[in-house]
Amino acid sequence: MSKKIFPLQADELEKIIEKYPTPFHIYDEKAIRANMKRLFKAFAWAPGFREYYAVKAAPNPRLLQILKSEGAGADCSSLPELILAAKTGITGEKIMLTSNDTPADEFQKAIELGAIINLDDISHIDYLEANAGLPKVISFRYNPGSVIEGNDIIGKPEEAKYGLTREQMFAAYAIMKEKGIKRFGLHTMVISNELHENAFSTTAEMMFKLAVELKEKLGIAMEFINLGGGIGIPYRPEENEVNLEAISANIKKLYEKIMLPAGLNKTEIAFESGRAITGPYGYLVATVLHEKKTYKDYIGLDASMANLMRPGMYGAYHHLVIAGKENEPSTYTYDVTGSLCENCDKFAVDRKLPKIAIGDRVIIFDTGAHGHSMGFNYNGKLRSAELLLKEDGSVELIRRAETIDDYFATLRGFKGSII
């Protein structure tokens, strides 16, 4: 079981809301730092262990500064993410650009920053060389096909648009070796939000064996193997959190069994976790505006799917509590909804909760990754503010809420304020 505890009391939350109206996302700095330290400690045995934080999970420069100070690099997949990483002081080989139908300007920026480039397809070699030149370090993303099952979120590897086949991997590394590249890495990403420890062992074994074969057949010794992200978090209270220490111990055994006899004792292990690092330590706080009684009881919030897409997009579960009513019996059944003109705009369906009143504060858990970052402006909705609960207990505004002027800012033909 995982405990779902909001780090603020109801009266403390009200003082914050007096200054920063709901809805907003708030992140717990102390918990994020402790979580990052735990990851590095778990893999302290691994030579040069790397964590490339998946910027897409929570692309806020203040959060990236915190993660950088704890040793993280940045996993980027767009030009703005590359620039964001650089502006927060993450540069050089602390950045990995994972290619995905990548345009030339993204490759060019990655080369300029000295980032590691992780190619998604063998055909990208010529495109990269023609448009940006070749980097000092190259990696390729492996798609094992039916060898790995995948899961519900990431899907079956053989149906995914990502990565190279096994045959293409050998061909791609041979091409790059002929072109004079001397430093290589290896990458895969085949699981997402995974809570079962054996899935990580399966991935590690597959990648270690591939690294050994690449050395034997092509004479290439991998500098690093990036095992991807995919470490899950317990969105439901009845779920158990992933045992990082057990995952690490299992990977260590495989490393010693497969890598060391092949002379790959200096190959570094890397992850590109996002959800697992910040996910559990972000919260969406909203206020109850309406209660509607028709065929069901609906609780309408001032937040919507524009603030948190996962429940509406995936049917994903996010735990929620009513501030100040955490210990009251959950004897009422509600659908908790937003104001978007879409019927899927629901944070919870048939959820057992305490009696809810207009004006109550609803706290939605585990929004520290793929929460605010997946926001949008459909239906004219504006993205909410982001706050940081600092280690000393103070609160910092790290992204202001969008305004109507922001919404119209990219249009032409308007002068000055719209309203």
Q: Residue 154 belongs to what H/E stretch?
A: none
Closest listed residue to residue 151, CA positions, set 229, 78, 220: 229
Of 236, 163, 246, 234, nearest to 199 (Cα)? 246
Among 254, 308, 261, smallest CA distance to 285 is for 308
Tokens (6 digits) for 36: 């990052």
Q: What is the largest CA-CA distance in the chain?
A: 70
Q: Which of 44, 341, 411, 419 is catalytic?
A: 341
| Contact residues for 161 (Cβ-Cβ < 8 A; gap 6+) | 100
Using left for φ > 0, alpha for ψ between -120 and 50, and beta otherwise, residue 371 falls in alpha
Residues 254, 247 contacting (CB under 8 angstroms): no
Residue 76 a catalytic site member: no
* Contact criterion met (CB below 8 Å) for 368 and 282: yes
For the four alpha carbons of 113, 119, 120 and 121, in that order, the dihedral sign comes to: positive
**248 annotated among ligand-binding-site residues:** no
180 is in an annotated binding site: no
Residue 173 known to bind ligand: no
96 is written with which tokens? 């990995």
Q: How far, CA to CA in Å, does 348 sit from each of 4, 106, 329, 376?
A: 16, 38, 17, 20
Beta strands in 58-106 (DSSP E): 73-76, 95-98
Residue 230 assigned ligand-binding role: yes
29 among annotated binding-site residues: no
How far is Cα 79 from Cα 99, in angstroms, rounded to an integer?
11
> Is 183 annotated to bind ligand?
no
DSSP 335-389: EEE-SSSSTT-EEEEEEEE----TT-EEEE---TTTTGGG---GGG--PPEEEEE
Q: What angle do CA 352, 354, 359 make, to 5 degrees?
A: 120
Six-digit token string for 78: 């767009």
* Residue 223 labeled ligand binder: no
Cβ neighbour number for residue 194 with a 10 Å cutoff: 22
Residue 239 marked in a binding site: no
Binding residues for pyridoxal 5'-phosphate: 230, 272-275
Binding residues: 230, 272-275, 310, 314, 342
Supply the residues annotated as catalytic.
Answer: 341
Binding residues for substrate: 275, 310, 314, 342
